[in-house]
């Protein structure tokens, strides 16, 4: 897809973790806290980066063999640490604030589509003063519902229809994310996707999942979405 075609996208959906912000410290600290309650000590933080992106229940089950009850308790323990400390052990990637501002100035509709619980996502956007750049937020529920990225994106599309007077087609939308779940979720909703490599997913993961494009930096992403060189969007 050419630069001009990407630039024509009217609705931009962003993942949160690994796409807008780098949550590595907060998420891994929260996972370490939960695992320690099960007597599992992880000394190498990088081993837990695989938790960034996928639904937590799924990660505890897949990576540590927890059954459903164990995984549910692990998620609860994770949240004990995350809600007070881990949530803000986080930082916005350089250039993101400027990119969001440029998109809004160009009249784009900007939404958040994250597997993180909505209540946490809203807190994070408010903390980093990004909330004003978003027209709507779609996330999972604390009850464990709507954690699949396809469901999250489907809810985002529904919110878009409710909050915007103008109707948009799937062809006018694009999903931006750093993991295969973002790409697969977009495909389930017949939406194109751009994978970012500055987060936690690899080029191989994103391309095998079917990403329509892959970018290495926020500046490259900005150029695709705005049609302007990185310097022109103040990155």
Distances in Å between the alpha carbon of 87 and those of 27, 143, 190, 192, 225? Answer: 8, 18, 32, 30, 29
Q: Is the dihedral of CA 87, 19, 233, 170 positive or negative?
A: negative
Pick the closest to residue 63 from 76, 49, 73 (CA basis). Answer: 49
Is the full-model pTM beyond 0.75? Answer: yes
Among all residues, which ones are annotated catalytic? Answer: 15
Q: What is the pLDDT of residues 129-187, one digit of tens each?
A: 999 999 999 999 998 889 899 999 999 999 998 888 789 999 999 999 999 999 999 99
Distance CA 79, CA 142 (A): 10
Q: What is the pLDDT of residues 43-60, one digit of tens each?
A: 999 999 999 988 899 999
Q: What is the pLDDT of residues 57-66, one digit of tens each?
A: 999 999 999 9
Q: In this structure, are 15 and 50 located in the same domain?
A: no
Q: How many domains does the chain have?
A: 2
Structural domain containing residue 71: 24-88
Q: Which of 88, 106, 137 is the last residue of a domain?
A: 88
Q: Is-contact 188 153, C-beta < 8 A?
A: yes
Q: In this structure, are 139 and 228 located in the same domain?
A: yes
């Amino acid at each position: 897809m050419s630069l001009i075609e990407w630039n024509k996208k009217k609705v931009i959906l962003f993942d949160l973790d690994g796409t807008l912000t780098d949550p590595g410290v907060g998420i891994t600290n929260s996972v370490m806290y939960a695992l320690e309650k099960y007597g599992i000590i992880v000394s190498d933080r990088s081993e837990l980066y695989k938790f960034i992106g996928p639904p937590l229940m799924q990660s505890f089950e897949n990576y540590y063999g927890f059954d459903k009850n164990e995984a549910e308790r692990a998620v609860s323990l994770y949240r004990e640490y995350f809600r007070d400390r881990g949530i803000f052990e986080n930082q916005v990637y350089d250039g993101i604030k400027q990119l969001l501002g440029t998109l809004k100035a160009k009249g784009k509709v900007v939404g958040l589509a994250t597997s993180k619980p909505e209540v946490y996502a809203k807190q994070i956007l408010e903390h980093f003063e990004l909330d004003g750049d978003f027209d709507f937020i779609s996330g999972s529920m604390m009850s464990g519902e709507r954690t699949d990225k396809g469901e999250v994106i489907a809810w985002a599309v529904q919110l878009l229809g409710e909050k915007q007077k103008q109707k948009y087609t799937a062809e006018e939308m694009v999903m931006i994310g750093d993991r295969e779940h973002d790409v697969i979720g977009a495909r389930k909703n017949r939406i194109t996707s751009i994978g970012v490599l500055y987060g936690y997913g690899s080029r191989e993961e994103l391309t095998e999942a079917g990403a329509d494009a892959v970018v290495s930096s926020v500046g490259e992403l900005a150029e695709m979405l705005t049609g302007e060189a990185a310097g022109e969007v103040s990155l």
